[in-house]
Amino acid sequence: MVVAENLITITKPRLDWDVERIRKDFPVLRQTVNGKPLVYLDNGASSQVPVMVIERGAQYIEQEHSNIHRGVHYLSMKATTAYEGAREKVKRFINARDTKECIFVRGATEGINLVMHGYGRKFIGAGDEIIISAMEHHANIVPWQMLCEEKGARLRVIPMNDAGELLLDDYDALLNAKTKFVAVTHVSNALGTINPVKEIIERAHKYGVPVLIDGAQQVPHGKVDVQDLDCDFYAFSGHKMFAPTGSGVVYGKAALLERMNPFQGGGDMIKSVTFEKTTYADLPNKFEAGTPAIASQIGLGAAIDYLNIVGREKAAAYEHELLRYATERVSAIEGVRIIGTAREKLSVLSFVIDDIHPHDIGTILDQEGIAIRAGHHCAQPVMKRFNVPATARASFAFYNTKEEVDTLVSAIEKVIEVFG
Ligand SMILES: Cc1ncc(COP(=O)(O)O)c(C=O)c1O
């Protein structure tokens, strides 16, 4: 197939790590909010999109838009090449063995639901046990609860200590012959804790139990090697890693995906259909019914290119220092309590201030142009564990600066002045 040269020149980000120059790749950061420069500290909810990704999406819409897989014409083949090219990039990004193990989904939530329906409903039954952890996002609780209700299975929960670290001895005590699945987050969105997922996987595998890792908060900030982890499934969202919404991936070991039921039925996921019987397409198409979010997934591929160009390790080291600085400065403010003080943490700084409701903190910070998240962060059991109704959460990306942390600190001091 002949693919014409791109008509748009994709803007390449700069090669050296220089936060001011990196920020130029993110047009959204240039604006003011309430007359103040925008300080975007809500990256855990959704990260911003660099020019390179925006232009790649625009290029698809302007010059390549067509449906994939089914067409024999030029544009359809071009769109298919771009879409499958993005899958190839994902494969390398997470070090999967094969592209057929990388299923495109709308995000981590859909990925986890796909595994619950495709694997859980087929292989988990009455009396079986599923282990999750006390710090899961609702996306990694509710689907398993639904399965337990449907099948008469039981949900078991690995507890955590006051720092927000999982208690692995308790995990060991939960594992037994009835355990049929383990689903744990790589990094907590509410606390920032990095979990020892390799260890968690290894222990489950001693019982022959497959493990799903919710990678939504890890993928934007650090390396993921699914072969090294030996996880059975790994789910993540594109919009938290500098790609558009509607993009995401669930990785699964081919041998498991082959044995699973499809998630949804429809076009593109079949080999043949008669009224008597349908046979399913090979991986990965078996799990991708209907027209996918083509532009978004191509954007995810471009986001991976972007991360590779700026350097994931350099970005992670910079973010690490930023979190250290923010933790030091925010925890020094009288009346502030940090929620989540694990030894291994990334990106997230959750806090409460005396009796001030986090929504009030968020509102005053917004007046200062600062975007943080205030609420339960779709992790109500975490709030209950720490005995707070909600927290204020600043979450960082590699385009944030120490000056922005200083702005945050001044604004928090202002909150205390107003409500104190
Ligand atoms: C740890 C974790 N898991 C799952 C999700 C759900 O991601 P999405 O809403 O993109 O499907 C989130 C979103 O905040 C998250 O932080």
CA neighbor of 298 nearest in space, from 51, 5, 61: 61
Q: Which residues pair with 183 in a beta bridge?
A: 212
Q: What is the pLDDT of residues 91-135, one digit of tens each?
A: 999 999 999 999 999 999 999 999 999 999 999 999 999 999 999
d(C-alpha 302, C-alpha 217), whole Å: 19
Tokens of 208: 């022959």
Find out whether 175 and 207 touch, Cβ atoms under 8 Å. Answer: yes
| pTM (predicted TM-score) | 0.96
Residue 1 has pLDDT above 50, yes or no: no
Report which ligand 1 atom has the smallest distance to the Cα of 111.
Answer: 11
Ligand 1 atom closest to the Cα of residue 245 is 10
- What tens digit of pLDDT does each residue of 186-224 get? 999 999 999 999 999 999 999 999 999 999 999 999 999
For residue 138, how far is its CA from the centre of ligand 1 (angstroms)? 8
Ligand 1 atom nearest the C-alpha of 189 is 16
Contact 157, 133 (CB under 8 A): yes
pLDDT in tens, 227-281: 999 999 999 999 999 999 999 999 999 999 999 999 999 999 999 999 999 999 9
pLDDT band at 70 (very low <50, low <70, confident <90, very high): confident
CA of 247 to the centre of ligand 1 (A): 12
Residue whose CB lies within 8 A of the most ligand 1 atoms, among 217, 224, 345, 350, for a mutation test: 217
| 380: its two tokens | 């109500």
Cα–Cα dist 193/361, whole Å: 23
Phi, psi for 269 (deg, rounded to 5): -110, 15
Q: Which amino acid is at 145?
A: Q
- pLDDT over 60 at 14, yes or no: no
Which of 116, 237, 241 has most ligand 1 atoms within 8 Å of its beta carbon, as the pocket-test mutant? 237
Asked if residue 9 has pLDDT above 70, the reply is no
378 catalytic residue (yes or no) = yes
The answer to whether the beta carbons of residues 153 and 171 sit under 8 Å apart is no
Residues 6+ away with beta carbon under 8 Å from 273: none
Structure tokens given for 281: 């397409």
Write out the two tokens for 212: 């799903």
Number of H helices, E strands in the chain: 15, 17
**DSSP H helices in 41-99:** 51-59, 74-94
Which pair of tokens denotes residue 328?
A: 């030091």
The one-letter code for the residue type at 254 is: A
